[in-house]
């Protein structure tokens, strides 16, 4: 399948693996790229630019296909050394960067000078248009269904994607609620040129996370995610667990007076406890509503091949069949 996204990144299938904290290691990115998608190493999971350079080199040893790096610009008092991270990305020969969080505008000149294609994660049309204006090559449009931070507008993809298609000139992919061939065809129908999957890729054999995490995703339904930190305007969709229930109780008691310090135990340092140690009740970790569509733990290649086969069958058989049926109906009416 050829789309603007496959052409932009030089990949076989219009499927991008989103950057995920303590998931986006070389093993994950290489598996996705080897299967024809665009694998992504999560930059800030690597504590230093030197460690990121090492992870990029490891991934090159595992695949000769294109892969990218996620670089999230965090609203913190002391920024990570972003210029050094970008240098590691450039020197590692990376040609695709997924940016997220704050606007990447300040770092666009350095990324562009290195010949890097930038796809920015956005949760609204206005932010997507800003990304286009500052020179991003593509946008990942994140609907309200997505795991992690869905923004504060609460617009689901059935509305957000067509709105993005109405406004954007650059290509975009759909993110949030993406799991299978139906997701891909739906995204394409609404104007996207592909899809970005996060949560679904965690439930694969190659995902470098504790098996407890994968089993939790298979067991969960679409009713098992909740939103936290709304009062802080830092809304995050997470999988419900005992730690999250504690967080929600604190939020209920504190109300509008909630401060981040009130919930540090439930949000700080959670990812290694969950992803590495398998402590499923440790606290808040990102998970999309798409968890309701996860029923197995295939290899990455099995998953991507299945998605593409489903998508082709839907397009060639189901959708074309509707048109063929319509023609036959019209002919019957004409004869009558």
Quick one: tokens of 182?
Answer: 């139906």
Helices (H), 96-137: 108-113, 125-133
pTM of the predicted protein model:
0.94
| pLDDT score recorded for residue 234 | 93
| pLDDT score recorded for residue 113 | 97
Quick one: tokens of 164?
Answer: 């993005």
| pLDDT score recorded for residue 79 | 83
The Cα–Cα gap between 319 and 287 comes to 31
| pLDDT score recorded for residue 336 | 57
Q: Is 255 helix (H, G, I), strand (E, B) or coil?
A: helix
- Other CB atoms closer than 10 Å to residue 334's CB: what's the count? 7
| pLDDT score recorded for residue 74 | 83
List, run by run, the mean pLDDT of 10-residue segments along the chain (336 residues): 98 97 98 98 97 98 98 81 97 98 96 98 98 98 96 97 98 98 98 98 98 98 97 96 97 95 95 97 97 98 98 95 73 59
């Amino acid at each position: 399948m050829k789309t603007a996204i496959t052409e932009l990144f030089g990949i076989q299938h219009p499927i991008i693996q989103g950057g995920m904290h303590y998931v986006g290691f070389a093993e994950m990115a290489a598996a996705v790229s080897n299967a024809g998608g665009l694998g992504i190493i999560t930059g800030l999971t690597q504590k230093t630019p030197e460690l990121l350079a090492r992870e990029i080199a490891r991934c090159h040893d595992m695949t000769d296909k294109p892969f990218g790096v996620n670089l999230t610009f965090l609203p913190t008092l002391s920024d990570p050394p972003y210029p050094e991270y970008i240098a590691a990305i450039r020197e590692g020969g990376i040609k695709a960067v997924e940016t997220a969080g704050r606007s990447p505008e300040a770092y666009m000149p350095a990324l562009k000078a290195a010949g890097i294609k930038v796809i920015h994660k956005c949760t609204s049309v206005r932010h997507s248009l800003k990304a286009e204006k500052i020179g991003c090559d593509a946008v990942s449009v994140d609907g309200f269904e997505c795991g992690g931070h869905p923004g504060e507008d609460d617009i689901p993809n059935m509305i957000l994607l067509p709105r993005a298609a109405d406004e954007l000139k650059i290509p975009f992919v759909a993110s949030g609620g993406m799991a299978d061939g139906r997701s891909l065809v739906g995204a394409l129908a609404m104007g996207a040129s592909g899809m970005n999957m996060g949560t679904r890729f965690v439930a694969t054999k190659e995902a470098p996370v504790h098996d407890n995490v994968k089993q939790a995703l298979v067991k969960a339904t679409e009713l098992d995610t909740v939103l936290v930190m709304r009062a802080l305007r830092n809304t995050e969709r997470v999988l419900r667990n005992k730690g999250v229930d504690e967080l929600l109780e604190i939020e209920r008691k504190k109300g509008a007076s909630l401060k981040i310090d009130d919930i540090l135990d439930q949000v700080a340092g959670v990812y290694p406890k969950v992803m590495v140690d398998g402590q499923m009740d440790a606290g808040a970790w990102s998970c999309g509503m798409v968890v309701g569509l996860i029923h197995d733990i295939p290899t990455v290649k099995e998953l991507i091949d299945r998605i593409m086969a489903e998508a082709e069958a839907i397009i060639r058989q189901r959708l074309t069949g509707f048109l063929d049926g319509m023609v036959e109906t019209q002919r019957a009416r004409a004869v009558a």
